[in-house]
Amino acid sequence: MDDEPKAEVITPPDTLKKKVKTGGPGAVDGGTLERAEAVIADMTDNYVEWAAKDLAKIYQALDNLKAEKKDRKDALALIFQLSHDMKGQGGSFGYTLMTILGGTLCNFVEKLEDAGSVEIEVIQLHINAMALVIAKQMKGDGGKEGVQLLKGLGLVAAKVSKE
Amino acid sequence: MDTFNLERLNFLVVDDSSHMRSLVRSVLHGLGAKHIEEATDGADAYARLCTYAADVVICDWQMSPMDGLEFVRLLRTATNSPNPFVPVIMLTAHTETKRVMEARDAGITEFLAKPISAQQLGSRIRAVIEHPRPFVRAESYIGPDRRRRQDPDFEGPERR
């Protein structure tokens, strides 16, 4: 039809293939990938430090919420940002629980306009759980303790959603 | 399957988290990349691209003041854009389907959910090298062709 909006198709210059050599020393093969994964594993100690620093910031933001300061939206935004970062980082270093807990916390906080005592308690429980995971270096699913942790938080979340 | 040497490619890593930038930089080094620049948000990245000829941009979504989506839209649509066709791999902890669609509609080239692995990042870089996509310039969209699968037998009006 003549009145349909027209779309122009453009073929960009294929500069990448021209710049990239194929094969030979330095090409990304299975060994390179294994070494690159090992680089991430070697950064695990750094990750634990980063997470501890982020947790300190998130506790500070929570204190601001509890103190009922005027910048409550900023505190919630910071808690969202940090928990979102934790969701995105933990699993790379084997801390799957941090990714799960960061995910549930940022999903919870994202929907909040403000936080009352119940919401603050939920946030507190999540942060405490993440602090425990880092302090005890609970990798993977955290074993029995990790399962219990998630189960407990799940019950809290279910209770809050009913209220 | 061809193996690629990344040492001549210029990468720009855009993330407001210094931890994440450090992780991505280390993985890229591990994959053999030599030229890696960093930016801390979309506005910083746009400014960096005015002086740095990036071949691949690896960009977070959740950043301020300019987030990853705003950056990609600006990059693709601005009349004075320094590099409108550069492949953008969006690397984000936003993993919901509607978010993926939103990123696609902003003009990203590849999507990678955090947490990342070297294997996954390597596969996305391989994809942008091996399968360069044509660009579409339409009234409501400018960016890589969103139709991944070309079906020559399709006869309907909506091809996406």
**Does B35 lie at the interface with A, CB-CB under 8 angstroms?**
no
- State the pairing for strand pair A8-10/A21-22: unpaired
> pLDDT below 70 — which residues of chain B?
1, 148-160
Q: What is residue A113's predicted lDDT score, i.e. its pLDDT? A: 87
Mean pLDDT of chain A: 90
Asked if B26 lies within 8 A of A21 by C-beta distance, the reply is no
Q: What is residue B73's predicted lDDT score, i.e. its pLDDT? A: 97
Q: Where are the domains of chain B?
A: 10-144
In which band, very low, low, confident or very high, does the pLDDT at A5 lie, cut at 50, 70 and 90? low
**Does B87 lie at the interface with A, CB-CB under 8 angstroms?**
yes
The more confident residue out of B160 and A65 is A65
Q: What is residue A160's predicted lDDT score, i.e. its pLDDT? A: 77
Asked if B93 lies within 8 A of A84 by C-beta distance, the reply is yes
Q: What is residue A154's predicted lDDT score, i.e. its pLDDT? A: 81
Q: What is residue B156's predicted lDDT score, i.e. its pLDDT? A: 55
Mutate one of A1, A18, A40, A43 to test the B interface: name it (highest B CB count within 10 A).
A40
Give me the interface pTM, i.e. the ipTM.
0.88
Q: Give strand ranges (E) for chain A.
A: 8-10, 21-22
pLDDT tens for each residue of B106-117 = 999 999 999 999
**Does B45 lie at the interface with A, CB-CB under 8 angstroms?**
no
The more confident residue out of A89 and A111 is A89
**Nearest-by-Cβ selection for B119 from A23, A33, A50:** A33
In which band, very low, low, confident or very high, does the pLDDT at A25 lie, cut at 50, 70 and 90? confident
What sign does the dihedral A130-A132-A137-A143 (CA atoms) show? negative
Q: What is residue B148's predicted lDDT score, i.e. its pLDDT? A: 66
Residue A60 pLDDT greater than 90, yes or no: yes
**Nearest-by-Cβ selection for A20 from B4, B134, B140:** B4
A44-162: which CATH topology?
Four Helix Bundle (Hemerythrin (Met), subunit A) (1.20.120)
Residue A35 pLDDT greater than 70, yes or no: yes
Q: What is residue B149's predicted lDDT score, i.e. its pLDDT? A: 55
CA distance to partner chain B, nearest, from residue A82 (Å): 9
**Nearest-by-Cβ selection for B26 from A19, A39, A89:** A39
Q: What is residue A156's predicted lDDT score, i.e. its pLDDT? A: 83
The more confident residue out of A155 and A62 is A62
Q: Are B105 and B72 in contact (CB under 8 A)?
A: no
Mutate one of B22, B31, B64 to test the A interface: name it (highest A CB count within 10 A).
B31
Q: Where are the domains of chain A?
A: 44-162
Q: What is residue B108's predicted lDDT score, i.e. its pLDDT? A: 96
Phi, psi of B28 (to 5 degrees): -60, -45
Q: Give the integer Cα–Cα distance in Å for B107 and B89.
A: 10
Residue A20 pLDDT greater than 60, yes or no: yes
Asked if A26 lies within 8 A of B4 by C-beta distance, the reply is no
Q: Give the integer Cα–Cα distance in Å for A91 and A16.
A: 31
Nearest to B30 by CA among A29, A39, A23: A39
Q: What is residue A38's predicted lDDT score, i.e. its pLDDT? A: 96
Q: Which CATH class is domain B10-144?
A: alpha beta
Q: What is residue B39's predicted lDDT score, i.e. its pLDDT? A: 98
Q: What is residue A100's predicted lDDT score, i.e. its pLDDT? A: 95
